[in-house]
């Protein structure tokens, strides 16, 4: 059976479907030695390659991992500046994985890694509206009006953010994470369904309360809980589905 090239590349763990489409458009994918086009298909017996490197057309075993990403780690597969990447955090895994979406260099928390392109697509495509929960420590204490503005949507780089959830958490004597601040601060629980670049930081900035530290604690119904910083674990089948759950 012939399958679309971007799906084959995602199944083979080369890249997410969207990134695979970019590779095809860039002319880096060949089928039987001929440069492929978007919309092209291949099947068993075809020689599929990216940048001349053969790609196995058979389905690999699917792997799903949760990582507690520390601050100071980049969410890329390789880094031109030789910084620690999230792949270094899961170096024991031999299969080729890629991160599902990204967390900023200075954001910590729940990051998923997989070789399942379809699952990645379901989690990252805006149409699926997967809820991402963050705990942000911000400068100052937002007023009720500022929180209302935050919830209703803000203009960021010419585009309005979707409605979201935000609440101030009561102060707790738990261990702080990330940088420490001088002066008053507030701890916010923020739930957004989008994934724009540095979105939470930009939203907090827009209401006049810049982020001091940021941690993602849940994706869909899947929670980071007490997985230690820098550690990873495999997800159970139930958890793989839980990420896509609506609450």
| Tokens (6 digits) for 30 | 């060949």
Nearer to ligand URA, 104 or 118 (CB): 104
Nearest-angstrom CA–CA distance, 61 and 239: 17
Kindly list the distances between the CA atom of residue 123 and the CA atoms of 73, 192, 241, 243, in Å, as whole numbers in the listed order.
22, 13, 10, 8
Among positions 206-225, residues that touch ligand URA (CB under 6 A) are 214
How many helices (H) and strands (E) the chain has is answered by 7, 17
Residue 104 falls in the annotated catalytic set = yes
Nearer to ligand URA, 200 or 218 (CB): 200
Nearer to ligand URA, 14 or 68 (CB): 68
Helix axes 17-25, 117-124, angle to 10 degrees: 100
Backbone angles phi, psi at 120, to 5 degrees: -55, -45
Decide: is 198 part of the binding site for ligand URA (CB under 6 A): yes
Decide: is 103 part of the binding site for ligand URA (CB under 6 A): yes
Nearer to ligand URA, 151 or 198 (CB): 198
CB of 118 to ligand URA, least distance (A): 23
Binding residues for ligand URA, total number by CB under 6 A: 8
Q: How many CB atoms lie within 10 A of CB 108?
A: 24
| Tokens (6 digits) for 225 | 């809980």
User: Candidates 20-28, 66-74, 172-180, 199-207 — which segment interacts with ligand URA by CB under 6 A?
Assistant: 199-207
CB of 185 to ligand URA, least distance (A): 17
Decide: is 201 part of the binding site for ligand URA (CB under 6 A): yes
Per-residue contact string for residues 105-124; x = within reach of ligand URA by CB under 6 A: --x-----------------
| Secondary structure E strands in 179-247 | 185-192, 211-219, 222-223, 232-234
Torsion of CA 29, 39, 1, 51, to 10 degrees: 0
Nearer to ligand URA, 50 or 204 (CB): 204
| Residue from 79, 104, 106, 118 carrying the catalytic annotation | 104
Residues engaged in binding ligand URA (CB under 6 A): 103-104, 107, 198-201, 214
Catalytic residues: 104
């Amino acid at each position: 059976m012939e399958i679309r090239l971007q799906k084959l590349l995602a199944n083979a763990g080369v890249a997410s479907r969207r990134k695979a489409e970019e590779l095809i458009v860039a002319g880096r994918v060949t089928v039987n030695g001929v440069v492929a086009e978007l919309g092209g298909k291949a099947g068993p017996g075809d020689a599929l390659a990216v940048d001349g490197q053969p790609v196995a057309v058979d389905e690999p075993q699917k792997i799903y991992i949760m990582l507690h990403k520390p601050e100071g780690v980049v969410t890329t597969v390789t880094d031109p500046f030789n910084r620690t990447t999230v792949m270094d955090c899961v170096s024991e895994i031999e299969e080729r994985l890629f991160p599902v979406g990204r967390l900023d260099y200075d954001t910590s928390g729940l990051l998923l890694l997989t070789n399942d392109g379809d699952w990645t697509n379901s989690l990252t495509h805006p149409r699926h509206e997967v809820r991402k929960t963050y705990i942000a420590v911000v400068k100052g204490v937002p007023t009720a009006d500022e929180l209302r503005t935050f919830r209703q949507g803000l203009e960021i780089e010419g585009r309005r953010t979707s409605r979201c959830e935000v609440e101030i958490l009561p102060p707790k004597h738990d261990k702080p994470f990330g940088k420490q601040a001088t002066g008053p601060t507030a701890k916010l629980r923020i739930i957004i369904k989008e994934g724009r670049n540095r979105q939470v930081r930009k939203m907090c900035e827009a209401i006049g309360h810049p982020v001091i530290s940021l941690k993602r604690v849940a994706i869909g119904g899947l929670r980071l809980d007490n997985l230690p910083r820098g550690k990873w674990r495999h997800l159970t089948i139930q958890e793989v589905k839980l990420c896509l759950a609506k609450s």
